[in-house]
Structure 1
Amino acid sequence: MAIRVLIADDDSLIRESLKIILTMYDDIQIIRAVENGLEALDTCIKEEIDVALLDVRMPVLNGVDGVREIVKNTNTKCLILTTFDEDEYIVNGIKNGAKGYILKNNSPDKIIDAIRTVYKGNTVFQDVVMDKVKELIDNKKEIKLDERIFTTREVEIIEAVAEGLSNKEVAQKLYISEGTVKNYITSILDKTGLEHRTQIAISYLKGNI
């Protein structure tokens, strides 16, 4: 079954170019291409959208705020695809529930891979984005996890997630199944009250867990 995708970008040339490129892949179905976050939200509410690609700078409702509203009101997974890697956009995008943040200078194949990754329930943040997140943490301290809260394996999972590894990569590193990794991450989220794995990484880097 094809992945149902929404494109939201206020640049008509980019919007239509993405639409043409993405429709070349058999497992991608473009449901609609819109020019602002409000139209994206409306479409995600009315249509069954698997993955929404959103630029950050758009009129009416920008992409970062659009992510928040889409995540709050639908089951659509949001992937920010933009030319902007400003700190504010990255942090707020992650905070609002974006499952991925990549730049438009990536090849079509990498954009497609990001869509597929997000669709499968994983997150994808390219190195330059994760580097930005790490740079924002000015007062990183030595991290001492409370062993009364986390098991040894959970600590290993947290550290691997903070390295930016995907669930598959964590599984390979620790010699466990990908399903087991997902179960551990669910346990960690339950214990910390966090909502997704990217927040685990950020909280770890800040020394909050």
Structure 2
Amino acid sequence: MSHSPVVPTGLCVLGFGGHARSVMDVAVAVGIQDFLFVDANAAPGETLLGFPTQTIFPETLPSGWTVFPAAGSNARRREQVEWTLRAGWPLATLVSPSASIGVGSSLEPGCFVGHHAHIGPMARVGAGCIVNTGAVVEHEAVVGDFSHVSVKAVIAGRSRIGRLVMVGAGATVLDGLTIVDDVTIGGGGVVHRSIDQTGVYVGVPVRRVSVLRTI
């Protein structure tokens, strides 16, 4: 896909938590100027930098607007993407102007690439993924749908990350490894061998400490 899309007139942001603030920050950096936040837990009259919130999905989308899934939860973000597609509304992809996008790489709709992140050449990032601030997805790596490569985490070259995977802040996945779906890697963890069982993994090197309940 092109990494220089037409800038939408406005953005309907699904979510109002911490990640929604990061989404707005990158959206402003690419030139989006109007926002609506949709979150069932938003308080009546609550705003973010003067932009409104509402608790239910809008019935219509203004001309020129797109929708962006801004839940930090991988499972919830998947629901947001699926709802948007069912509604037939355009799904945005947000790439910070300070991020670097390698030749031959691809990003599926609904992706977020934060400030100073790097997507290496021929890497592939699935739908609804987060590649957060300063994170690296190196050459020919694959990140499955609805996964999150957190702040300053590193996915080394030719590694394959499954769907609904959380790679915690500062964690590292070494070259050429595979991680199955529904895995959480704790912050600062180092993955030195492929992971073929779902669960939560922590430490240097990582070890499984619990089974992750899939949704």
TM-score with structure 1 setting the length: 0.33
Give 1 or 2: higher helix fraction. Answer: 1
Give 1 or 2: higher strand fraction. Answer: 2
* Larger relative contact order, structure 1 or 2 (CA cutoff 8 Å, min sep 6): 1
